[in-house]
Amino acid sequence: MNRRVSLAIASVAFIAMIAFPFIAPDATYEHTVMLLAFLVAIQSISWNIISGFAGYVSLGHSVFLGIGAYTAGILSTRWEIHPLALAPLSGVVAVAIAFLVGSVVLRAKGPAFVIITIAMLLLFQVLTINLPGLTNGSDGITLELPTWGRDVGNIPFYFMFLGLMVVTFGFSAWIRRTKFGTGLVAIREDEGKAAAIGIPTTLYKNLAYAASAFFIGVAGAVYAYFLTFLNPLGAFNILTSVTVVLAALVGGRGTLWGPVVGAFIVSFASEAATVYGGGTQSRLLLFGVALVIIVLFLPDGLLPVLQRLLTKRRDVEYTDHAGALEHGPVEAVTREPIEPKTGPLLELRNVHKAFGGLKAVNGVDLTVPVGSITALIGPNGSGKTTLFNLITGTGGAHTGEVWFDGERIDRLSPWARAHRGLGRTFQVTRLFKSMTVLENVVAPLESFSPRVLASGAVAGHEADRARELLSFVGLGRFESERAGALSYGQQKLVELAQVLMLEPRMVLLDEPAGGINPGLVDRMAEIIRAANRRGITFLVVEHNIPMVLDLCDPVFVLARGEVIASGQPGVIRNDPAVLDAYLGEVTT
Ligand SMILES: Nc1ncnc2c1ncn2[C@@H]1O[C@H](COP(=O)(O)OP(=O)(O)OP(=O)(O)O)[C@@H](O)[C@H]1O
């Protein structure tokens, strides 16, 4: 389904929703069912920002509805402020609490995060019960009755929740189109990779969690006024959270429209189960069965399945042999050639890393001269990738020092190292497979400032530069394809274009020729040489020894976590220790 069709359907549905209370002004029950569906949609769209886009599934997200409701309830009864006037403040309080709590809970991942979010919901329930001076405890808070006449019923609430739903949707759609939104999807697909291309993942997750709380908090204030009575068990109810999650799962988690469509399906089904099935028990049964069916048969939700059915499959034409690729000019690699310098660019000093009793890296000293293409070779399991992880900051704690361009970097986060001009590719390519090739290449952040968050994901001179880089590696015409649809060799080239987007001073290449078509190996070497001529320094891990000896100088040889030899390729080729440890069987 393309954007125009979905917008047309949404516009018709929206007009129908606006018209409904005018066409049927006395349908109070139907108005209430609808406004409660809007409320679920507001929460589900918001939930989708942290749990759909960023992949951090919160099962206690309705905690922010309770926080918003209680903020309005407490302040309106104490200071006689109209509850609706407190709605923006309720949103701000929800955001503040989300930011504080998020900075702790977002350190956990997967099931641990899910459990913590449930615990948070229960914690707020307990707090509201046990702080009677503030919250009136289990007795709850009674708010003033709506000021409008009885004859309009719930129609004002209907329009308030409808308006909030539309604004929340607009907010979520805007986020998805920004660099911040692309960063969140990158975090969902591969958090380690996202950090390696300069995305400050901790900040992004915190902001996403806080952003996902705002409109739920605002809606909480309106909901409190709608209910006119709040109590801890009702305001912090796990079933509300489950409904929100179920809605997003049914519609399609991570999609823009999925949570909206899912909210209506789940709300109507739940209402039907309560009315026709004999009460809350049948609603619980329905939720349970629906969850099982979705997890088993529709893990992506309804909209993605529909999309796949309606979109004609188009096969990507593979052109793995070098001759078929057209290459853009080398000027695309860096905006300006990097000034030639002398001396070391990267230095490792007595670096150690152990996994339990295994010394994967054992006292390594290594210097990469600026402007060089340096090789790091060694048999399988000798510690090369572990060393790369330590250099880029994804390898956890280690001892020893890592210096880059005269600065000690071993205590910096991976994204801070990327911002200093240190890029890397991975042994097995780690592209964001659900994104297009172009989205992958524009995803890296060369530096970070708050302005970056709101800028368009694929726009302006960045998109132009990404296109130039794709053309440089010979994949310009694949920019709109899904990255996951390309061949392995093509993915390696896209990952190279992606890392060049960082404007790196140095790139660590982990097996650039590994597993790719032999025709592409020469092309890969050519690209590395061309980028090196523009001033980029390389450290290359590679098992293709002829390629290494032809391309690199100097060469470091690692065995059992230790550097056993280093020097020019001609010297390495004949070093008896190297031949013994590694090269013998390859060069003879
Ligand atoms: N996360 C980990 N936990 C435990 N052991 C690990 C971990 N990562 C690596 N190792 C071990 O550390 C040693 C070095 O692994 P590493 O992947 O760095 O070697 P490598 O030289 O890159 O090998 P290859 O050429 O096969 O990629 C190996 O014995 C490996 O099994």
567 within some domain: yes
pLDDT digits (tens, 9 = 90+) for 366-391: 999 999 999 999 888 889 999 999 99
CA of 390 to the centre of ligand 1 (A): 12
Strand partners, 405: none
509 within some domain: yes
pLDDT digits (tens, 9 = 90+) for 33-90: 999 999 999 999 999 999 999 999 998 999 999 999 999 999 998 888 898 999 999 9
107 within some domain: yes
How many Å apart are CA 541 and CA 531, to the nearest integer? 17
How many Å apart are CA 492 and CA 188, to the nearest integer? 21
Which atom of ligand 1 is nearest to 387's Cα?
18
Is the CB of 381 within 6 Å of ligand 1? Answer: yes
- Domain final residue, candidates 186, 214, 236: 236
Is the CB of 353 within 6 Å of ligand 1? Answer: no
- When pLDDT is averaged across residues 150-154 and rounded to a whole number, the result is 76
pLDDT of residue 324: 44
What does 550-573 look like in DSSP terms, one character per residue? HH-BSEEEEETTEEEEEE-HHHHH
How many Å apart are CA 330 and CA 141, to the nearest integer? 69
CB neighbours of 279 closer than 8 A, spacing ≥ 6?
A: none
Residue nearest to atom 8 of ligand 1 (CA): 386
Tell me what the pLDDT averaged over the chain comes to: 87
260 within some domain: no
413 within some domain: yes
Q: Are residues 153 and 180 in the same domain?
A: yes
- ipTM confidence: 0.96
- When pLDDT is averaged across residues 13-34 and rounded to a whole number, the result is 91
Q: Are residues 85 and 147 in the same domain?
A: yes
Evaluate if residue 321 carries a pLDDT over 50. no
CA of 373 to the centre of ligand 1 (A): 23
Q: How far is CA 60 from the centre of its chain?
A: 20
Evaluate if residue 338 carries a pLDDT over 70. no
Burial 64-80 (b: 16+ CB within 10 A, else e): bbbbbbbbbbbbbbeee
How many Å apart are CA 530 and CA 536, to the nearest integer? 9
- Domain final residue, candidates 471, 503, 535: 503
Residue nearest to atom 7 of ligand 1 (CA): 355
pLDDT digits (tens, 9 = 90+) for 237-277: 888 998 999 899 989 888 999 999 999 998 998 888 777 77
The dihedral built from the CA positions of residue 197, 203, 209 and 211, taken in this order, carries a sign that is negative
Which atom of ligand 1 is nearest to 389's Cα?
18
Q: In 3D, which of 460, 495, 505 has the Cα closest to residue 475? A: 495
The dihedral built from the CA positions of residue 94, 97, 103 and 105, taken in this order, carries a sign that is negative
295 within some domain: no
Q: What are the two backbone dihedrals, phi and then psi, of residue 425, each rounded to the nearest 5 degrees?
A: -115, 170
Is the CB of 360 within 6 Å of ligand 1? Answer: yes
Q: Are residues 119 and 202 in the same domain?
A: yes
Is the CB of 386 within 6 Å of ligand 1? Answer: yes
The amino acid at 307: Q
Q: Are residues 510 and 568 in the same domain?
A: yes
Q: What percent of the chain has pLDDT over 90?
A: 48
DSSP state, residue 254: T
Q: Are residues 413 and 473 in the same domain?
A: no
If one counts the domains in the chain, the total is 3
Q: Between the CA of residue 315 and those of 9, 172, 312, 475, 519, what are the distances in Å?
A: 29, 32, 10, 16, 22
Q: Are residues 512 and 456 in the same domain?
A: no
pLDDT of residue 111: 83
Burial 480-504 (b: 16+ CB within 10 A, else e): ebbbebbeebbbbbbbbbbbbbbbb
DSSP state, residue 376: E
DSSP state, residue 401: E
12 within some domain: no
141 within some domain: yes
Residues 364/561, Cβ–Cβ less than 8 Å = yes
Q: Are residues 526 and 391 in the same domain?
A: yes
The amino acid at 288: G
Q: Are residues 524 and 499 in the same domain?
A: no
Residues 503/338, Cβ–Cβ less than 8 Å = no
Q: Are residues 574 and 480 in the same domain?
A: no
Q: Are residues 26 and 104 in the same domain?
A: yes
Evaluate if residue 325 carries a pLDDT over 80. no
Q: Are residues 445 and 398 in the same domain?
A: no
**Would you mind telling me the total number of residues written for the chain in this entry?**
588
What's this model's pTM, rounded to 2 decimal places?
0.88
For strand 506-510 and strand 399-404, is the pairing parallel, antiparallel, or unpaired? unpaired
Evaluate if residue 108 carries a pLDDT over 90. no
Q: Are residues 510 and 496 in the same domain?
A: no
Evaluate if residue 333 carries a pLDDT over 80. no
Instruction: Give the domain range for residue 124.
Output: 21-236
Q: What is the CATH number of the domain that holds 539?
A: 3.40.50.300
- Domain final residue, candidates 503, 530, 563: 503
Is the CB of 383 within 6 Å of ligand 1? Answer: yes
